[in-house]
Amino acid sequence: MLKTPSEHGIPQSSNFSIVDSVVDPSELPSEGGLLVRALFFSADPYLRGHVRSGRPSSIAVGNPIRGFIAGRIEASTINDWKVGDLFGASLPFSTVQIVSLKALRSTAFWKLSDHLTEATLSLGVGVLGMPGATAFGGLMDVLRPVKGETLLVTAASGAVGQLVGQLAKLKGCKVIGTAGGPEKCKLLIEKFNFDAAIDHKSCSNPAQLEALIRSSAPEGLNMVFENVGTTTFETAYRCLAIGGRIAVCGAIAAYNEKQESIPLCSIDPMQMIYTSQRIEGFVCTPWLVGARGGNEWIRVLSEGVKSGDIKVTESFYDGIERWPDAFADLFLGNNVGKVVVRV
């Protein structure tokens, strides 16, 4: 649970605590409910805003952290769910909990039994979870790639970025990624089939980053999948081609800063008018819950993983007590790919 808010800087273990409680299976509602066991917790950058105070999404002190989990049904009074079914969900980080039918209908909750086994269930908080739905929706529906176009993915070695790049390659696009350090850039080329990788840590100023982007995309960027924000966003915007579009997914560079210290992004709206450019923000929820595109996102990604066309990288942490470490490493750059806590 949240012990104390973390207003700025990287959250520490002292901001969180583990609390024991008793769950009574006899309290499972006869009119519809599930007893679920979490096997994997996810650590995701978006949760940074939830552990600050005074925000609409803030978690109250003493309440559990709520995020994405993957697990197994232990008991059920709902016909569509059987004991042993595997699931992904957005729920409080509790190892065992009762989910009422009302709660089930008001949150993201999807079946994974047709796609995964317990041995591969960690993918339920990654490629077949929120990151997968984010990558698919942002690329396919927001950016709408066309064969032969050039895409820039920022924070490309992360859980979302690596999937976006691979999906774009399957659509016949040229893909450039930014990442922090030579090892992550090597991974983009050798494992995820990116056409070019840019080490943003080698750039001491935005002009150097812009020069590297333009060198890799001399005719400009048709698409940008933006995960970083601040000067990276501004630089990518300047490199857009006619008809270019940006899908704004995240702004991790600013997540740990004091609100008053975050520089405002500067964009020239005149650039967009005669070039028919577009910037659109989005969240994954419509795809994750099937409101947009039904189950297409999970079908495509599941088939891609099984065929080997889509590869994944995971960083594992063992034990719920390691969740704060896993969360902090997202901002320290110590992880590659999806950060997963094995309960």
Asked which of 13-22, 204-213, 264-273, 282-291 is least confident by mean pLDDT, the reply is 264-273
CA–CA separation, 113 vs 132, rounded Å?
17
Give CATH 3.40.50.720 domain extents, the chain. Answer: 130-285
Question: Which pLDDT score, from 0 to 100, does residue 53 have?
Answer: 81
Give which of 47, 7, 8 is closest to 323, Cα–Cα: 47
Question: Which residue ranges does the chain devote to CATH 3.90.180.10?
Answer: 13-126+312-342
3-state secondary structure of 67: strand
Whole-number Å distance between alpha carbons of 186 and 287: 31
Counting every residue written for the chain, the total comes to 343
Model confidence band, residue 257 (pLDDT cutoffs 50, 70, 90): confident
| Mean pLDDT (whole number) for 161-181 | 97
145: left (phi over 0), alpha (psi -120 to 50) or beta: beta
Strands 174-179 and 96-100, how do they pair? unpaired
From 3.30.465.10, 2.60.40.740, 3.90.180.10, 3.40.50.800, which CATH number describes the 13-126+312-342 domain?
A: 3.90.180.10
If one counts every other C-beta atom within 10 angstroms of the C-beta of residue 22, the result is 5
How high is the mean pLDDT of the chain? Answer: 94
Is 154's pLDDT higher than 80? Answer: yes
pTM over 0.85: yes
Q: Which residues contact 105 (CB under 8 A, 6 or more apart)?
A: none
Residue 63 CB burial class (10 angstroms; 0-12, 13-18, ≥19):
exposed
More reliable by pLDDT, 24 or 40 = 40
Q: What is the pLDDT of residue 221?
A: 98
| Rounded mean pLDDT, 153-181 | 97
**pLDDT of amino acid 7:** 86
Q: pLDDT tens-digit profile of 33-78?
A: 999 999 999 999 999 988 888 777 789 999 999 999 999 999 999 9
According to the model, what pLDDT value does residue 30 have? 84
Q: According to the model, what pLDDT value does residue 333 have?
A: 84
Per-residue pLDDT for 266 more than 90? no
Residue 8 pLDDT > 80, yes or no? yes
CATH superfamily of 130-285: NAD(P)-binding Rossmann-like Domain (3.40.50.720)
